[in-house]
Chain A
Amino acid sequence: MPEKFVYFNNTPDIVSSNVAEHIKTIGYTPVFSDNNIDLTSAECVNNFLEPYKDNLVGAVLSNPPVAGMRGGIEDTTDEMWNNARDIFVVPMLNITQAVGKIFMENKKGSIIYLNSVHAEKPIGNGFLYTTACAAVQALCREAALIYGRYNIGCYNIMRGIVEGEEKYFTSDYSPIHHNSEIRFPKEKLPEANSLNELCAFLLGGGAYILNGSDLRADEGFTLFYGKSGYYKN
């Protein structure tokens, strides 16, 4: 059996690290782009993927850390703007084009965007991050229409925070990440491995019916409607 490669864009994301470990146990081989690969260069991305192309079956693309992209409308500088663009949306487009081209030739493949609920929900002091999340959401839909014709599934997972991540998202403008465990029906944050099975499923051909979907994966976090409706046995 040939190896089945799954590309990861190698952002320091705890969820995608868990996904990579998990899929090894079910027969996939994760491939990470080296940190010295310039993901803003389409040529570099294409060159990196070349050796894997015949057996590349999936790509799991996670967002870069929000921590480097916090800034308000009033105080964000041109440098912060350019930096956020170059570490987030430009690589996402380049990688989508590169894996999309390979998958079109192979007539199969899955592109999984490990995106965020913040493609819909504002953070406050976070527009550099959330505008990019929304852009990736739209990119997934566009990719689903074009690449979907070639049996390629494109999925936008809007994940919530997992254990240890809430501190990166707190804001004076929104209470959403203050004492956030109360917002989860289970009253605790999900573990970092909580998206493993979902991603494994999406890598398989059986998920194609979900092509182009936004999959909110936050354990009900964004459904919270205040403590007034709180009920507990």
Chain B
Amino acid sequence: MDLKDNNKVAIVTGGNKGVGRGIVYSLVKAGIKVCICYNSSEDFALETLKKANEIFDNHAFLYKCDVSARDNVKAMAEETFRRFGKIDILVNNAALQPNLPVGFYDTEMFKKIWDVNIGGYFLCLQECLPYLKQSDCARVINITSIHAKRPSVFDAGYSMTKNAIKMFTREAAIELAKYKITVNYIILGACHIERKTNLPNSGMFNLRMPEKARTKTSFPLGRIAVPKDVGDLIVYLSGKESEIITGTGIRIDGGSVLL
């Protein structure tokens, strides 16, 4: 797909690192201008911006934003429109994963991840909607996790929010169909990223097996996903070719959940 003359504009939340970073690179490579939304790890954000602009000059900018705060989100949508004149694609990706099993969550922590992991998706969609309605190819893509389907053991609250994204997507798909806006979700399994969350319990559970053994026994295709896999799917979902696809989830896990 040659999209170098693409005139689309995207917002990618949590676009500074990990999966979000891969999504940003794929979109920019396809000629799509991107607002890289981040809320922490500024060093990663600067790195991502540098590389994005090496791929395609002046096709990306950074915006610091807490997706659970309406005023932040509104300002981000306004700034993206001011810079690029439109918004066609919203990729909701920003999430917290404190790694706490069911008995370990306290109410405040749970509210926090609920408000970011699902509330942030809602706020970003609501605030971008006036712009998306003006697009002739509007796409919303919500990133969720395999733990929406298969329990994690190590993070009950995270799994709850990730399954909630499934229904958020389905509801948005039927509500926004009248504007020809498609809404889909990507169910991501294990993925190679630089590092996980900065939250204090992130090292509490170490589920990683040695790489070779893990890929042999747990992934039929023999490898773990990389952020580019997600980015490439998003480029496809962002195109005209996908206009009939809405309200659905596509799993990227190398077949792992089947084992």
Contacts and interface: CB of A to CB of B under 8 A. Distances in A.
Given A74-B126, A90-B107, A146 B102 contact: yes
A119 B163 CA distance: 9
A119 B168 CA distance: 10
Interface string A120-147: 1111111100111111111101111111
Contacts of B165: 131
B106 A85 contact: no
Interface string B88-117: 000000000000011101110011001100
A180 B114 CA distance: 33
Interface stretch (A6-14, A53-61, A92-100, A220-228): A92-100
A76 interface: yes
B126 A76 contact: yes
A195 interface: no
Contacts of B119: 81, 85
Nearest to B148: A138
A26 interface: no
B175 to A, nearest CB: 5
A64 B168 CA distance: 18
Given A135-B160, A135-B163, A122 B174 contact: yes
B15 interface: no
A90 B102 contact: no
B122 A76 contact: yes
Interface of A: 40-42, 72-74, 76, 78, 81, 85, 89-90, 93-94, 96-97, 100-101, 118-127, 130-139, 141-147, 173-174, 212
20 contacts: A40-B107, A42-B106, A73-B126, A78-B70, A85-B115, A90-B110, A93-B160, A97-B105, A101-B103, A119-B167, A122-B247, A123-B171, A124-B171, A126-B171, A131-B118, A134-B148, A134-B166, A138-B163, A142-B151, A173-B175
